[in-house]
């Protein structure tokens, strides 16, 4: 029972004793007291006047007196017009923190029976993961953990886009310029090697277009239409979809290189999936759905043989579902994949973690599934997020100007190592322990800096700023946790024992307890909004509040042993809640730092 529920219960009892009315719980409105007034919670008495038949001031005064007389957990009250401000006593807050201390599952909400599928990552097998993918993966992982904390059953899935024109571009460039190079012969991760040939294709294409323009004087648009390499890539896709053995063998080989590379990056990020789907295995399901919709008159065929869904009556435009040569598009496979997943899992909600440039795509996906008769399409939710930009501007993968995920992780590790060694506080750790700490700090910095931003916002990523040990960063929270653990170790060496809280609580301790007790509500709020940023910023607020408390409150130097035990319990709970909150974000907290 939180403080609002507690006071609401006491108000209901007061109303019954004063006015003989029962069953009025829904009329009781409780809200946090505004900062300019004294109190913790405010009762809005206006809805209760029909029961009291008295003025707002008298009603508030009578209810306040009744609660104060019967509730030792209330220390005082005051009335401001039609508002009853109630201040809770140290007795109440000590019972709250003692209850939290005894609750191993604090912050884990009860099971709901709701099954939620979360799709994230969804990379293409023509390039390595980059900074944009990192934001996607970290949001997908953390929202999955957040939904678990809300009591839902969560299934994490990945859809690998392993077919399509973009895949054929890498394959074609490798055939033309690769000279049989492999990850083993080049010493490169497979996803990096294949990504090099995606860039190489673009270079070949740009060069050919320029040559056509120079030779014929046609426009760039016309030169692109005349490009032979573009036609070769389209022909390769047609061959792949029609089972050409040579094209399929090359496709399997190069995709295998990429999968091996992806696995290394996922492992370094601490990311895993319950199931991975492959577009090559689902696009035919989508084509079958399109064919069925065509036969039922839901879709239509254009003169060139392409298949479209006309959504103009729904305020949208026409959507291509099959090209004139019969090859499929992203929408085709998304239709098939969504249907397969529902058949397999009967999910109550399906969350797609995909950038905001695909907002229209998912609006259309839901609508087409609804037209096909799938009522569960209403359960689809597009968790749209903003792009990640760098101080020097946007990234473009086809031009090779992206920030590679592996390079970024390596850079973050180096920065964490340099910063930690400069502080000079880890000399007593072994080389292995230092390596583990550097990885913990670097990942904590990266993950926190990205997740703390509201998902819907475009964000600017600055690696150096993210690893600062001060301010709203992951390392600041990690350092706070390590500081608490250091205090607890010293206390144990001194023979100090942790004890339950008594009634001697300072104002700062009460503020800390209030913030701790808000954690389950933050979990619920974050889950409702699909926003791990709420948990990230809560963790920072809690770490900041602890540090303020620590600077003004003696703990091990306190002479009263009962107060020492009480304060040790309080800070150990802070460490525990920080651990739980950061675990939702996929961030580990060190014991020493």
Residues 522 and 581: their CA atoms lie apart, in Å, by 10
Strand runs (DSSP E) across 251-345, as ranges? 275-278, 300-301, 307-310, 318-322
pTM of this structure: 0.90
Burial class of residue 189 (count of CB atoms within 10 Å of its CB; 0-12, 13-18, 19+): buried
As a whole-number percent, the residues of the chain with pLDDT over 70 amount to 98
What is the per-residue pLDDT across 242-269, written as a single tens digit (0 to 9) for each?
999 999 999 999 999 999 999 999 999 9
Would you state the CATH architecture of domain 3-88?
2-Layer Sandwich (3.30)
Residues 424 and 245: their CA atoms lie apart, in Å, by 60
Closest C-alpha among 466, 580, 592 to residue 105: 580
The domains of the chain are located at 3-88, 120-274+337-399, 406-584
Q: Is 117 helix (H, G, I), strand (E, B) or coil?
A: strand
Closest C-alpha among 521, 511, 502 to residue 88: 511
The larger pLDDT score, comparing residue 471 to residue 169, is at: 169
In the chain, the N- to C-terminal Cα span, in Å, equals: 36
Would you state the CATH architecture of domain 120-274+337-399?
3-Layer(aba) Sandwich (3.40)
Q: How many CB atoms lie within 10 A of CB 236?
A: 22
Burial class of residue 427 (count of CB atoms within 10 Å of its CB; 0-12, 13-18, 19+): exposed
pLDDT at 401: 54
CA 67 to chain centroid: 42
User: Does residue 570 surpass a pLDDT of 70?
Assistant: yes
Fold of 406-584: Isoleucyl-tRNA Synthetase; Domain 1 (1.10.730)
Strand runs (DSSP E) across 269-374, as ranges? 275-278, 300-301, 307-310, 318-322, 349-355
Work out whether the CA dihedral 224, 230, 231, 232 comes out positive or negative.
positive
Phi and psi at residue 310, to the nearest 5°: -85, 110
What is the per-residue pLDDT across 497-535, written as a single tens digit (0 to 9) for each?
899 988 889 999 999 999 999 999 999 999 999 999 999
Burial class of residue 294 (count of CB atoms within 10 Å of its CB; 0-12, 13-18, 19+): middle
pLDDT at 470: 84
What is the per-residue pLDDT across 292-345, written as a single tens digit (0 to 9) for each?
999 999 999 999 999 999 999 999 999 999 999 888 888 999 999 999 999 999
Say if CB 423 and CB 593 are below 8 A apart: no
Residues 404 and 408: their CA atoms lie apart, in Å, by 6
User: Does residue 395 surpass a pLDDT of 50?
Assistant: no
Long-range residue pairs from 1-5, CB within 8 A, at least 24 positions apart, any chain: 2/517, 2/520, 2/521, 3/40, 3/41, 3/88, 3/92, 3/96, 3/517, 4/30, 4/41
User: Does residue 398 surpass a pLDDT of 80?
Assistant: no
pLDDT at 521: 95
pLDDT at 247: 97
Pairing state of beta strands 349-355 and 380-385?
A: parallel
Question: Which residues does 222 contact at the CB level (< 8 Å), separation at least 6?
Answer: none
Q: Which residues pair with 308 in a beta bridge?
A: 300, 320
Predicted confidence band at 400 (pLDDT cuts at 50, 70, 90)? Answer: very low
User: Does residue 86 surpass a pLDDT of 50?
Assistant: yes
């Amino acid at each position: 029972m939180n403080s609002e529920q507690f006071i609401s219960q006491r108000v209901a009892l007061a109303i019954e004793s004063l006015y003989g009315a029962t069953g009025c719980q829904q009329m009781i409105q409780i809200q946090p007291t505004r900062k300019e007034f004294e109190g913790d919670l405010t009762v809005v008495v206006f809805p209760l006047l029909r029961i009291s038949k008295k003025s707002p001031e008298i009603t508030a005064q009578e209810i306040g007196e009744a609660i104060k007389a019967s509730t030792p957990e209330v220390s005082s009250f005051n009335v401001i017009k039609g508002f009853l401000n109630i201040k809770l006593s140290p007795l109440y807050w000590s019972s709250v923190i003692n209850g939290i201390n005894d609750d191993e599952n604090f912050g884990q909400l009860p099971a709901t029976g709701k099954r939620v599928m979360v799709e994230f990552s969804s990379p293409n097998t023509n390039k390595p993961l980059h900074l944009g993918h990192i934001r996607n993966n970290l949001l997908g992982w953390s929202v999955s953990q957040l939904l678990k904390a809300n009591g839902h059953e969560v299934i994490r899935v990945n859809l690998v886009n392993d077919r399509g024109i973009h895949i054929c571009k890498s394959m074609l460039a490798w055939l033309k310029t690769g000279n049989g190079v492999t990850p083993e012969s080049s010493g490169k991760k497979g996803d990096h090697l294949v990504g090099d040939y995606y860039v190489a294709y673009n270079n070949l294409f740009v060069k050919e277009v320029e040559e056509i323009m120079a030779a014929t004087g046609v426009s760039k648009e016309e030169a692109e239409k005349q490009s032979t390499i573009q036609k070769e890539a389209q022909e390769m896709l047609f061959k792949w979809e029609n089972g050409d053995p040579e094209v399929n063998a090359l496709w399997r080989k190069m995709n295998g290189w990429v999968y091996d590379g992806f696995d290394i990056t996922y492992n370094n990020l601490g990311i895993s999936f319950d199931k991975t789907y492959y577009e090559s295995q689902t696009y035919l399901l989508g084509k079958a759905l399109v064919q069925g919709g065509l036969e039922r008159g839901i879709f239509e065929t254009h003169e060139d043989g392409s298949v479209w869904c006309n959504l103009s009556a729904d305020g949208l435009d026409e959507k291509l579902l099959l090209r004139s040569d019969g090859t499929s598009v992203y929408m085709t496979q998304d239709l098939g994949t969504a249907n397969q997943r529902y058949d397999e899992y009967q999910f109550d909600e399906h969350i797609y973690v995909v950038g905001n440039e695909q907002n229209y795509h998912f609006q259309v996906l839901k609508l087409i599934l609804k037209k096909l008769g799938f009522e569960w399409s209403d359960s689809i939710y597009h968790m749209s997020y903003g792009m990640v930009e760098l101080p020097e501007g946007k990234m473009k993968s086809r031009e090779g100007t992206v920030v590679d995920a592996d390079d970024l992780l390596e850079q973050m590790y180096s920065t964490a190592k340099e910063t930690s060694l400069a502080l000079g506080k880890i000399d007593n750790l072994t080389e292995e322990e230092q390596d583990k700490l550097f990885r913990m700090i670097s990942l904590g910095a990266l993950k926190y800096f990205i997740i703390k931003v509201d998902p819907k916002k475009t964000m600017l990523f600055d690696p150096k700023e993210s690893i600062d040990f001060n301010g709203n960063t992951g390392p600041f929270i990690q350092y706070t946790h390590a500081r608490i653990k250091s205090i607890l170790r010293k206390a144990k060496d001194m023979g100090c024992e942790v004890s339950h809280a008594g009634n001697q609580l300072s104002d700062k301790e009460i503020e800390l307890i209030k913030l701790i007790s808000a954690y389950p509500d933050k979990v619920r709020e974050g889950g409702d909004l699909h926003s791990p940023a709420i948990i990230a910023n809560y963790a920072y607020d809690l770490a900041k509040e602890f540090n303020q408390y620590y600077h003004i409150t003696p703990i091990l130097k306190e002479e009263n042993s009962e107060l020492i035990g009480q304060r040790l319990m309080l800070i150990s709970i802070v460490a525990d809640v920080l651990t739980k909150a950061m675990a939702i974000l996929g961030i580990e907290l060190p014991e020493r730092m």
